[in-house]
Structure formats: C-alpha cells, structure tokens
Structure 1
Amino acid sequence: MSFTTSAYKTIDDETIFYYKWPSNRNNPIKGIVQIAHGVGEHAGRYHPIAEKLQNEGFEVYANDHRAHGKSVKSHDYLGYYDGDNYFLDALNDMRQLTEIIQKEHPNKKIILFGHSMGSLLSREYTTKYGADLEALILSGTASFMKGLGPVGLFSADILGKINGKHRSNELLKKLFFTQFNKKFKPNRTKVDWISSDARQVDLFEADPLRIEDFSLSVFRDILKGTKKINKIQTFESTPKDLPILIFSGDKDPVGEMGKGVKKVANAYEKAGIKNLTLKLYEGGRHEMLNEINKNDVEQDVINWLNDRIKV
C-alpha cells in the first residue's frame, strides 16, 4: 500500500522528515500508531510493520530522528549533533509529530511504538504526554546496564571535556556496539547482534542511511536519558491504566539477554501499571521485527492491539 512523506520545522529550526502510511479508507480507522526508531537507523526500515498495521486499519506515522535518516542536510551530517541535549530534542521532535497527527485526527488518541532508543524516548514521552496515548509498545528496550551504563556515561563525560562533545569517538562505539557483537562469536559481520537472520543483517549493513559514528554528545545524552527513565519516579509517572506491551529477544544484548527487559517490566508492575504484557522470544536478538520469526512477531503485535483497541 502507499505512503507519503513530508517534513516539519522544529523550534530550533531543524528540518524533521517523516513518513505517513494512511489506513484503508474503505474501513473505519482503528487507531493511529506513531513509531520512534532506534539509534543508528531510520524510520524507513519500518515499512513492513507499517504496511501490516495499515492493512489492519491503523494509520501510521514515523519520523527520522534528528541526525538520522533523511532529517539531515546531507549524508555527511549523519550522526552529527551540535545541540545541548539530544534526548530532549528528539523527544520534542516526537511531540511535534504528535501535534501534526492530532490536527489530522482530532478525535483519536495515539499508540506510541518505540524501538531501542525510540523505546527509551517513548518511556519518557509517556510520563509527559501519557494522556494523549491509547497504548504503548516497547521493542528492544533496556534498563540502565550494570557496569556498562555507568562506565559509558563516565567515559562520555570525560572524553567530551577533552575532545569536545560534537566529535565522534571510536572508544565509545567499541564500548557498546563491539561489546554487543562479542556475544555472538564467531562474528560474520559487525552487527550480528541485531538479528539471527543473515539476510536482514546484510540489508542493514548495506543501508546507506545506517550510522556507525555519532557525535559524542549523542551517546552521552542517550545514556543520561536512560539513567533517568530507569529511576522509580519515571515508572510511577506513567499513567496506571495505559496498556503496555514490552517485547524483546531473550538474546538481545541491549536488554542484557532478557534480564534488563524483565527489570523494566517488573518496575512498571511495581509502579501499579494495570495492563502490562511482557513477551520474550526465545533465541531472538535485538530487532525482533527483523528476526527469522518476524511474521509471528508482527502478528503478535497486531493481535495485542486488536484485543485492546476498539473502534
């Protein structure tokens, strides 16, 4: 089915590119899904799940976060950020897309779907704008990793003072992405950790919009945001009656092989979330939407939505 693209200007004069997959006009719109993608990728990678949702009667919107995808001036600017707080800026960009959606669908609440970094942003977003949401879906989310999180944050702060926060840094890239990949030795590629489906891994490696190098501040600000959203106050600020689906692979290093994902789910339950679903897929890695059982995962998401979203 078809999709359209457009862009909007942010309050700090950045241009943010976004996709829209309109629902089938022959049927009532079941709901509106807003997707927040992960670090190093872009919203265009969500065409498959967006089209399935589209065919199910959902309308889907997804923006390329700043410094990502087609929200950059040119290919040379992929990963480059010169602002003061990447996490907050990306969150505000998501909010502007929400406002566009609300103008086009004034009587509809939004289903927020976040993957990886997008799931972290979505968790914070929900504490601020949860009243505008009908459901929350978190893919490949994370707790503040024991050891790696504090070390990464300390390193980012020190390196930023030495080298400047706008430059890329090989040390931090190795600290995270190389560590993730070590879980799957012998490695065929640098990104074996994203999926056990070799075809999907190769597609990701060949993607011209994929990013490996980021301004140091992107790493630092995401780590600071991750630490904040994993504090008890964030979980307690989440609307108690909001349906939440958390899914991940039990071999996802970002989710600490399921341990971190369970920690997040338990924290939501302790905070009083009434409608929480946790699904860990055996053998799955970081991108369950690109795993060997991706069709089953997509159908699970659709079934979960259909059980909770009533026209």
Structure 2
Amino acid sequence: MAVITSTFTSLGDEEIFYYRWQPKEEKNIKGIVQISHGVGEHAARYKSIAKALKKQGYEVYANDHRVHGKSVKSNAHLGFYDGNDYFSDAIYDMRKLTEIIKEEHPNKKIILFGHSMGSLLSRAYVTKYGNELDALILSGTASFMKGIGTFGLISAKIFTKINGKHRSNEILKNIFFNQFNKEFKPNRTKVDWISSDQKQVDKFEADPLRVEDFSLSVFLDILKGSKEINEMATFINTPKELPIYIFSGDKDPVGEMGKGVKKVAKNYKKSGIKDLTLKIYKGGRHEMLNEVNRKEVQQDLLNWLNSKIAAKN
C-alpha cells in the first residue's frame, strides 16, 4: 500500500516521525483519520486498519509519539524522556500533526482515533480542539483504576523523588504489566493480556520498536493524565455534538474487564454527549484490532464511521 513517511519539529526540537497512508483517488477522500497509538508501541502497527480505512476512501496519518518508534534518535533512546510533562508534550505533537493535515487537506473532515494511552491523549485533546473534529474513536480506553492507579501514582511520585524522573524503575513497570497479565495465568508470555491471538502476541514480543522500559516521568505523567481526564470536568468539556465510538474487549484488564470502559461511556452520556456508541466484544483482550475476530471489529468500526461521515455530508 502507498505510505509516505515524514517528520516535523516539535517542542524541545524533537523530530516527530509520522506515516501517511493515501487512498488511490485523492480527490474523493471522505475524510482524514488521525491515529494516536498506545504506550510501548508505535504507529506502524496500525498498518492493517489504515489499509482498511484507505479502501473505504479515508486517508490516514499517524505519528510515533515522542520516545516511541522512529521518533527517537536511536533505539537506545526508546522510552527515555527528559521533558517536563509527557502527557501535554504528546498532545502538543498531536496538534502539530493535525495542523499539517489541515494544511494539506483544507476543509476535509478529520476523525481522531486513539488506542489505550492514545485514547487518553485523545480524550484530553478533544476538550481543547474537539470542535474542529468530526468524530472520535476510542479503543482500549480506561477509567482511572482506584486501586492500582492510586498506588501507581503515589509510587511513581516517591520513586521520582528518590531516583529522579529520567530514571526507569523495574518495580513500577512490573506492578502494572504483571497485574494486567495475571488475569491470564498460566502465562505463555509477558504480554498475553494484549490479545488471545498467539501469533499477534508473538509478533509484538519480537517487535524491535516495542518499548518495555520508560523514564519514571512517563509513568507519572500518564497516571496523572489518566486521573485528570477521568474527572467529570473533562467529560463536560467535550463538545456535545461530537460523535464518539468506544470499543473494547470484556477481557481487557486496562478497561477493568469492561467495567471501566462502561464507566467512561456512562460519564460521557451523563455530561450530555448526544451521539455515543459503546461496543464491548466477548472474550476480547486489550488490542481488539489484533484479536481473533479483528475482521469483525474492523467492519463494525468502518460501518459506524461511514454512517457518521455520510450524515455530515
């Protein structure tokens, strides 16, 4: 498939790498989908959904968040962050990419798609720029986990004071990922929790751009960001006319086995969002786009998106 890669300079003179997947008929583009990937992965993992979107007449842009993928000077820098607020820096980078999209495609509809950490970033993003978007898609999103989230936030603050924010911490890393994986014992790999499709799990484990270790500040900022976006003020500040599609698996530990995802949907509805669709797949784990029923998941997403974009024409 036709894919163009490029970079742009962002805060702190960081070079942010991004992909652009183009449909054949440029003049008949239905809209632009901007993808925000999850923690520890990278934008190239979205090639399959980008291909499906392209066939439907959408153009797709996706950047590697800073300290991820090809937005690093070398693989040795993967996960290392020396800024002041990772969450806000990542949102700033997303905004820069949106501005590139708007410059290259004036007056085209823009859809924001976020997975996992990228869904949290996207939920914060729409409180600032949601009026410029035509739809929001959230995959593998989460409420703030009071137990592990609160413990993680306190621990990250303590470890940061002791070791400095640029250092990694094995204990904190294991708290989260071991907690997620324990739901699927006996474990075959460290990342059984992402998908029930073993081939997809093995592919992710072997990915040279997969990030396992992060600066403490990344953990701390994501946890602080997660707590903030799950406060009612964030839901209230989301544009009421923005169509929102949320999908998850009922075996996703990040979404608290569906419970946290339902809470997010409930809060959006409570805040006055007029058009919200929630889809929870039985047996699905964290990455529904890489699950055994991924074709069904893709088709459901495309059907929803096409109906919303058609309604806006």
Report the TM-score, using the length of structure 1 for normalisation. Answer: 0.99
Identity %: 71
Which residue number in structure 2 is paired with residue 235 of structure 1? 235
Which residue number in structure 2 is paired with residue 20 of structure 1? 20
Which residue number in structure 1 is paired with residue 200 of structure 2? 200
Which residue number in structure 2 is paired with residue 148 of structure 1? 148
Structure 2: how far apart are the matches of 1:213 and 1:132? 35
Aligned pairs for 1:77-116 (under 5 A) are 77-116=77-116
Letter of the 1:14 partner, please give it. E
Aligned pairs for 1:67-78 (under 5 A) are 67-78=67-78
Superposition deviation, residue 223 in structure 1: 0.2
Which residue number in structure 2 is paired with residue 252 of structure 1? 252
Which residue number in structure 1 is paired with residue 7 of structure 2? 7
Which residue number in structure 2 is paired with residue 120 of structure 1? 120
Provide the secondary structure at the position in 2 that maps to 1:162: helix
Structure 2: how far apart are the matches of 1:146 and 1:192? 23
Residue-by-residue CA offset, 1:153-182 (whole Å, 9 max, x unaligned): 000000000011101110111110010000
Which residue number in structure 1 is paired with residue 64 of structure 2? 64
Work out the number of aligned pairs and report it.
311
Superposition deviation, residue 109 in structure 1: 3.0
Provide the secondary structure at the position in 2 that maps to 1:296: helix
Which residue number in structure 2 is paired with residue 130 of structure 1? 130
Superposition deviation, residue 110 in structure 1: 1.1
Whether the aligned pair in 1 keeps the contact of 2:4 and 2:19 (CA below 8 Å) is: yes
Superposition deviation, residue 26 in structure 1: 6.5
**Runs (5+) with no aligned partner, structure 1:** none
Report the TM-score, using the length of structure 2 for normalisation. Answer: 0.98
Which residue number in structure 2 is paired with residue 31 of structure 1? 31
Superposition deviation, residue 119 in structure 1: 0.1
Structure 2: how far apart are the matches of 1:123 and 1:61? 18
Provide the secondary structure at the position in 2 that maps to 1:17: strand
Structure 2: how far apart are the matches of 1:100 and 1:130? 17
Which residue number in structure 2 is paired with residue 165 of structure 1? 165
1:270 aligns with 2:270: yes
Whether the aligned pair in 1 keeps the contact of 2:2 and 2:21 (CA below 8 Å) is: yes
Superposition deviation, residue 11 in structure 1: 3.0
C-alpha change, 1:44 and 1:256, in structure 2 (3 Å) is same
Provide the secondary structure at the position in 2 that maps to 1:183: helix
Which residue number in structure 1 is paired with residue 223 of structure 2? 223
Letter of the 2:303 partner, please give it. N
Whether the aligned pair in 2 keeps the contact of 1:27 and 1:57 (CA below 8 Å) is: no
Residue-by-residue CA offset, 1:248-305 (whole Å, 9 max, x unaligned): 0000000000000000000000000000000000000000000000011001100000
Superposition deviation, residue 27 in structure 1: 6.2
Whether the aligned pair in 1 keeps the contact of 2:252 and 2:258 (CA below 8 Å) is: yes
Structure 1: how far apart are the matches of 2:156 and 2:219? 7
Provide the secondary structure at the position in 2 that maps to 1:12: helix
Letter of the 2:232 partner, please give it. I
Whether the aligned pair in 2 keeps the contact of 1:244 and 1:276 (CA below 8 Å) is: yes
Structure 2: how far apart are the matches of 1:214 and 1:11? 19
**Runs (5+) with no aligned partner, structure 2:** none
Structure 1: how far apart are the matches of 2:27 and 2:57? 7
Letter of the 2:60 partner, please give it. V
Superposition deviation, residue 146 in structure 1: 1.8
Residue-by-residue CA offset, 1:213-238 (whole Å, 9 max, x unaligned): 00000000000000000000000000
CA RMSD after TM alignment: 0.8
Provide the secondary structure at the position in 1 that maps to 2:146: coil
Provide the secondary structure at the position in 1 that maps to 2:18: strand
Structure 2: how far apart are the matches of 1:162 and 1:177? 22
Structure 2: how far apart are the matches of 1:91 and 1:27? 29
Displaced runs of 4 or more, over 3 A: none
Structure 2: how far apart are the matches of 1:305 and 1:113? 11
Structure 2: how far apart are the matches of 1:299 and 1:278? 15
